[in-house]
Structure 1
């Protein structure tokens, strides 16, 4: 089993594939990394050459999108409806601007000022044309593009004829086939103890994603704000701090794990399996 580690989407990643030689694995990895880097750059919120940066720094409110971006954005808007607005790339992008505040008071004022524009109701997608109703709404695909990249990587490997593979981009995992003739076994990390797992699950022809607040956050005047953007300024201490979901695709698993982390009262469709919920009260 060929194993490779690298960094993408600002997170540790790994790919395991069943190939005969290291040379074959290296060649496949090189091809995969080219596409992974493209997706990372093309849809970055911060990269000045990205399509997202161009949208967010637009000079008019009607824009032409690439076919791929219109597909990803259409998928994002579908999940906005499915999650009752909990997952919303416009909310994430618009409210993310408040993270640049240099004081808690400035953060709260900016957050309040941006709130009316932080919704996908401020944009309309018609085919490959995107319309905005105001100049303030921004979008951030950070909640879907990494998961999309995992699913695309799996599809490429399958088209190459690889019979067994595991792709893990920072806890967004998809696997098919077997590992040395055994099921893929995935440990879900304890957020309080990186050396321990809260549970171990078998993964076969499916995806598993874990979302949490414990590792990535912004600190302003000693108050922490999760990297997961939600309408409220501060997360309740009664909310879960980590949720793991299994689903047929990584996009599905990733969006539902994030959405349920923000709003545990949501009722996901029957094909979504909740594997682990960790909170301070558990």
Structure 2
């Protein structure tokens, strides 16, 4: 007579297998959207645990909200308090984080010959960009010339541990060209700490990738500066970041002319030589930050853009000139796919 235990063994094995399969869910992309830093934020996490993905993305959005409130350029924040101290000629004590950000921004500004200079917050305000809604008006010429004569620069800052002062009372810090990239690095650190290894973080076109999407790399598009469609697409690999400076993101038009928020500190006017400039940062420390601030001096440099990207060891660059010409470095051209035939000039 057969043993009852032997007869039950296959059934128990089948039941255990079904329970294991039931506990396994298929991996998918989980997403969250928000509006922070004056732009749209998109988070994507690839995995099989919706609760873990949701918690990790919620932690990232909480951090973004903290950064937005702490370093807002015109609403009350630690940054506006610092600017008020500069205007009074006083020294301020700031957080460790802000002191480190200011030192890094100071270094980037020096590398880019001051074309990217967060000390020009007063110039940004003069052009009306310290507002959620832009009013199409030019600044008072006398105020503009007075500010140019005062020449506020990041080099005016004196940073000693947490004590920050300015040799120039005209300095008003605006981290708008730095904070999104810094936030990308913070998001990547938070996701990794929560065990997320595959994600894509997009803050208004500044993007960083972690891992991949299943068995394929993440894929992103580079916005066409004059059409509501991608100019090109490319794969983005683990630890890479992409950022674009363009005259189509924050701008107003008046008398047939476009005025963007990308202001040239040499003239005090919006730059007109470039429609957009995109850089890809290969995996390195601070890749997110480097995808943001270093695109500004290259954008403002016009035809000399390649000189400035080299200074930051950036080999993957695409530029759309004011006349629509498309220039791309050889390293990035090998990665791009264009949805429509396009004449491009390859630059070494």
TM-score normalised to structure 2 length: 0.74
Partner of 2:295: 257
Partner of 1:74: 103
Aligned-pair Cα RMSD in Å:
2.2
CA contact (8 A) 1:103 1:221 kept: no
The structure whose RCO (Cα within 8 Å, separation 6+) is larger is 1
Partner of 2:328: none
Partner of 1:86: 115
Segment drifting more, 3-12 vs 262-271:
262-271
Unaligned runs of 5+ in 2: 1-28, 130-134, 326-348
| Residues paired across the two proteins, number | 278
TM-score normalised to structure 1 length: 0.91
Structure 1 residues 100 and 216, CA gap change in structure 2 (3 angstroms): closer
Structure 1 residues 5 and 104, CA gap change in structure 2 (3 angstroms): closer
Partner of 2:314: 272
Deviation track 1:102-133 (CA, whole Å, cap 9, x = no partner) reads 89675322111111232123221122111112
Deviation at 1:270, TM superposition (A): 6.6
SS of corresponding position for 1:254: coil
1:234 maps onto 2:264 in alignment: no
Structure 1 residues 106 and 143, CA gap change in structure 2 (3 angstroms): closer
CA contact (8 A) 2:59 2:190 kept: no
CA distance in 1, matches of 2:136, 2:143: 11
SS of corresponding position for 1:178: coil
What stretches of structure 1 move > 6 A for 4+ residues in a row? none
CA distance in 2, matches of 1:257, 1:42: 24
Segment drifting more, 214-223 vs 56-65:
214-223
Question: Among 69, 74, 83, which residue is 1:46 paired with?
Answer: 74
Structure 1 residues 183 and 100, CA gap change in structure 2 (3 angstroms): closer
Deviation track 1:201-232 (CA, whole Å, cap 9, x = no partner) reads 11112101111011312456775432123222
SS of corresponding position for 2:259: strand
Question: Among 165, 173, 193, which residue is 1:131 paired with?
Answer: 165
CA distance in 2, matches of 1:100, 1:277: 27
